[in-house]
Amino acid sequence: MKQEPMIRADFYRALTNSTSRGMWGQPIYGEMIKGHKISKIAVEYPVNGKKADLVVFRQLKQGEGDYPFLVIETKGRRMYPALSLARACKQAMNYAEKLHINFFAVYDGWNFLLFEMKYPHLIKVSSFLQVSDSIARDILSGLLEFEQYRHEAESLKKLPKVPDGWSFHQTIMPSIAKILASVTKPGVEDYWKILLAQWFPIIKEDGNW
């Protein structure tokens, strides 16, 4: 099983390769996502005395400064990954909040989960053993699409499906829902069940059942 440093390095390499020529937007529905360039990928980026594994930056306009766009936490792959992924999701959400980023994700060498800070809203779940350049590009261009067109993010739909969606929903997502619910609405009993119900259509669409 791959260890976290190798997983992080592979993800960094794929992100860097996928944006080596910049990303000013992809043609979508005959239009362009204008003014968005993925400009920099930072490794172990300092956040309030800690370090976020990967932070993706963008430029809103050419020549302007870099703004944090996406934070990704990586973990080593585990035989029973639910608790590890849940803790990583909580950490990534904390970094996103501190950096005023709207998107956060976690990856453990097999499971990939992508969230929006609102709610927190689950955007995508996927499974892949190797982060290819094309997967990294689909993640980044898909997020740009999602931000502008919401649920019409065609690039995100290209990501590999979860092989066993039912098991993923039953064994992994409850732990993640519980730990994020404890942060977002700690005073609401069983809020994690509400989150899980909201996420169910996404998991259903993204997994084989």
Q: 44 by DSSP, 3-state: which?
A: strand
* DSSP 8-state secondary structure symbol assigned to residue 108: -
pLDDT of residue 21: 54
Does domain 4-161 bear CATH number 3.90.1570?
yes
Token pair of 196, please?
A: 């899980």
Alpha helices in the chain (DSSP H): 4-18, 82-99, 133-149, 154-157, 165-171, 173-184, 191-206
Count of alpha carbons within 13 Å of 155, Cβ hemisphere only? 21
pLDDT of residue 63: 65
Token pair of 127, please?
A: 């499974």
Token pair of 159, please?
A: 């990501």
Cα separation, 150 vs 86, in Å, equals: 25
pLDDT of residue 106: 98
- State the maximum Cα–Cα separation within the chain, in Å, rounded to a whole number: 48
Q: In this predicted model, what pLDDT tens digit does every residue of 149-181 receive, in sequence order? A: 766 788 999 999 999 999 999 999 999 999 999
- Write down the pTM of the prediction: 0.91
The answer to whether 53 and 44 are in contact (CB under 8 A) is: yes
Assess whether the previous peptide bond of 120 is cis (omega < 30° from 0): yes
Dihedral sign computed on CA atoms, order 179, 67, 40, 47: negative
Token pair of 184, please?
A: 């977002």
Sequence spans of domains, the chain: 4-161
pLDDT, one tens digit for every residue, the chain (209 residues): 578 999 999 999 999 988 875 444 444 333 334 456 788 899 999 999 999 999 999 887 666 778 999 999 999 887 789 999 999 999 999 999 999 999 999 999 999 999 999 888 999 999 999 999 999 999 998 998 898 876 678 899 999 999 999 999 999 999 999 999 999 999 999 999 999 999 999 999 999 99
